[in-house]
């Protein structure tokens, strides 16, 4: 899509998978870097554990520019590239806002695009994963000119020494958030939204403590998962145990002083974008949710309802994770998608709650492998136990059970394996209509942890 965007980013990858689906194509899988071809990535699991971790650590840095190049990044140009690749037709609705895997499945069912507020740009640098203060200071200089050249964008620098421990040693993470509607987005909505169509605003109200480094630069330690903000900032027994397992020189992290809370870097929504959308005088419906996983049960049930409306039988549950999704193959297999944010216990607990009250003949499970066992890691056996509560036949998709979570091949192997594990594939069902979606939600709204607000002004 754009060489400046990280190939492993949730938002970028979800957008790519949706574009494939709107063109009627399966998704080929996550490509962390163009420097490691997909065929080579599939064979990496045969290597020793330490070498796999080294490849994981360095591969994502292959595409990242040097920090000096950030000054030349134009988020307006990136927005132009984002609207490219969608089919050349009009749409009954356009989604805008927070990244969310369940939302992507919903957009695919509706046959509509999604325009993200947040995108990840990385920059090369060498930094010890436990040096949070050093990364914050480095980031100030790295984004100074970028902020001057992009006045309608905020930078949420993110440093997760647990889940991203391997990657943050080689690259700095900058989540760029549009504070105003970029011109390419505005033009796309004007030209591609059907008369009488609407905006679906994806509004994740999840927040996180931050250290404000400048007017629009925020530094965030950690992110969504089992480890709490307080543990990242002040330590805990399991933080000490984790750092000991990593042979770290510290027992807790020395984090920058916290100034307050902001929308969480990866998933949270900044409301100034909604104000800009409201000025377009287009009907706008807000899907507002606190946790990134709040939409997952609803979208799963909505898919089952959609299949029923179209006279399609469904016997399969597909649990996918992070950016490892393929909407087109999912609904061609008549599978019901349940999206996990990540591979930790907080996501496992939410999935278990869902599985206790649903029943399927079979279940397939995709897991995102982040290279190491972090805090709140969930074993393969435990994942199988959870999904077995909803289905008699359980199988993993693209997961090397012996290598997991140091399983870099899974980024691409899941896409091929999915077609085999969900066969046979059928013609896509007729698209879900926006009024069918609204009618379904209005009848069962009290069962879910999000709000659907119709015709909002901002």
Cα distance from N-terminal residue to C-terminal residue, the chain: 30
Looking at residue 3, its pLDDT comes to 61
Helix and strand counts by DSSP (H, E) for the chain: 16, 15
CA-CA distances (angstroms) from residue 293 to 78, 148, 331? 27, 35, 20
**What is the assigned CATH class of domain 296-421?**
alpha beta
> Which residues on adjacent β-strands are paired with residue 171?
124
- Which of 425, 365, 357 has the alpha carbon at shortest distance from 393? 365
- Cite the DSSP H helix spans in 235-295: 237-245, 272-278
pTM for this predicted structure = 0.95
Looking at residue 382, its pLDDT comes to 98
Say what the alpha-carbon torsion angle 341, 342, 343, 347 is, to the nearest 10 degrees. Answer: -40
Q: What is the pLDDT along the chain (458 residues), one digit of tens a residue?
A: 456 776 678 999 999 999 999 999 999 876 655 555 555 565 666 677 777 766 666 666 667 778 888 999 999 999 999 999 899 999 999 999 999 999 999 999 999 999 999 999 999 999 999 999 999 999 999 999 999 999 999 999 999 999 999 999 999 999 999 999 999 999 999 999 999 999 999 999 999 999 999 999 999 999 999 999 999 999 999 999 999 999 999 999 999 999 999 999 999 999 999 999 999 999 999 999 999 999 999 999 999 999 999 999 999 999 999 999 999 999 999 999 999 999 999 999 999 999 999 999 999 999 988 878 899 999 999 999 999 999 999 999 999 898 898 787 777 788 889 989 998 999 999 999 999 999 999 888 788 999 999 988 87
Alpha carbons 38 and 57: distance in angstroms, whole number: 17
- Which of 355, 308, 313 has the alpha carbon at shortest distance from 334? 313
- Which of 326, 113, 304 has the alpha carbon at shortest distance from 200? 113
- Report helix angle 296-309 to 101-110, nearest 10: 20
Looking at residue 50, its pLDDT comes to 73
Alpha-carbon Rg for the chain in angstroms: 21
| Domain coordinates in residue numbering, the chain | 10-289, 296-421
Query: Contact 176/75 with Cβ under 8 angstroms?
Result: yes
Alpha carbons 159 and 249: distance in angstroms, whole number: 18
Looking at residue 410, its pLDDT comes to 79
Looking at residue 153, its pLDDT comes to 99
Query: Contact 96/201 with Cβ under 8 angstroms?
Result: yes
């Amino acid at each position: 899509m754009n060489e400046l965007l990280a190939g492993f980013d949730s938002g970028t990858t979800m957008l790519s998978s949706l574009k494939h689906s709107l063109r009627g194509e399966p998704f080929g899988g996550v490509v962390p870097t163009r420097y490691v071809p997909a065929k080579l990535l599939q064979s990496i699991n045969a290597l020793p554990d330490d070498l796999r971790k080294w490849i994981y650590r360095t591969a994502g840095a292959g595409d990242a520019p040097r920090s000096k190049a950030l000054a030349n990044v134009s988020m307006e140009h990136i927005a132009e590239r984002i609207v490219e690749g969608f089919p050349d037709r009009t749409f009954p609705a356009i989604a805008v806002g927070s990244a969310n895997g369940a939302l992507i499945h919903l957009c695919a069912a509706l046959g509509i695009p999604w325009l993200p507020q947040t995108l990840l740009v990385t920059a090369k640098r060498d930094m010890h994963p436990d040096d949070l203060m050093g990364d914050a200071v480095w980031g100030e200089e790295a984004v100074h000119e970028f902020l001057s050249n992009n006045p309608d964008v905020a930078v949420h620098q993110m440093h997760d020494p647990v889940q991203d421990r391997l990657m943050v040693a080689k690259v700095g993470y900058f989540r760029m958030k549009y504070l105003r509607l970029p011109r390419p987005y505005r033009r796309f909505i004007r030209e591609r939204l059907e008369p009488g169509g609407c905006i679906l605003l994806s509004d994740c109200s999840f927040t996180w403590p931050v250290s404000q480094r400048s007017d629009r630069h925020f530094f965030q330690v950690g992110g969504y998962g089992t480890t709490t903000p307080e543990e990242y900032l002040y330590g805990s027994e399991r933080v000490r145990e984790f750092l000991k397992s990593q042979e770290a020189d510290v027992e807790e992290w020395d984090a920058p002083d916290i100034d307050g809370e902001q929308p969480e870097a990866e998933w949270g929504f900044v409301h100034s974008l909604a104000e800009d959308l409201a000025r377009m005088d287009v009907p706008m419906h807000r899907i507002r949710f606190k946790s990134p996983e709040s939409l997952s049960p609803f979208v799963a049930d909505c898919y089952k309802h959609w299949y029923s409306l179209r006279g399609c039988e469904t016997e399969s549950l597909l649990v996918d994770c992070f950016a490892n999704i393929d909407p087109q193959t999912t609904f061609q297999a008549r599978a019901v998608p349940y999206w996990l944010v990540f591979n930790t216990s907080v996501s496992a607990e939410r999935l278990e709650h869902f599985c206790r009250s649903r029943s399927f003949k079979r279940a397939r499970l995709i897991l995102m492998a982040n290279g190491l066992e972090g805090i709140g890691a969930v074993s393969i056996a435990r994942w199988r136990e959870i999904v077995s509560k909803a289905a008699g036949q359980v199988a993993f998709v693209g997961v090397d059970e012996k290598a997991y979570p140091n399983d870099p091949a899974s980024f691409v192997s899941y896409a091929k394996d999915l077609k085999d594990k969900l066969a046979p594939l059928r013609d896509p069902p007729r698209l879900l209509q926006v009024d069918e979606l609204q009618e379904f939600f209005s009848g069962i709204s009290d069962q879910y942890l999000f709000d659907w607000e119709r015709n909002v002004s901002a």
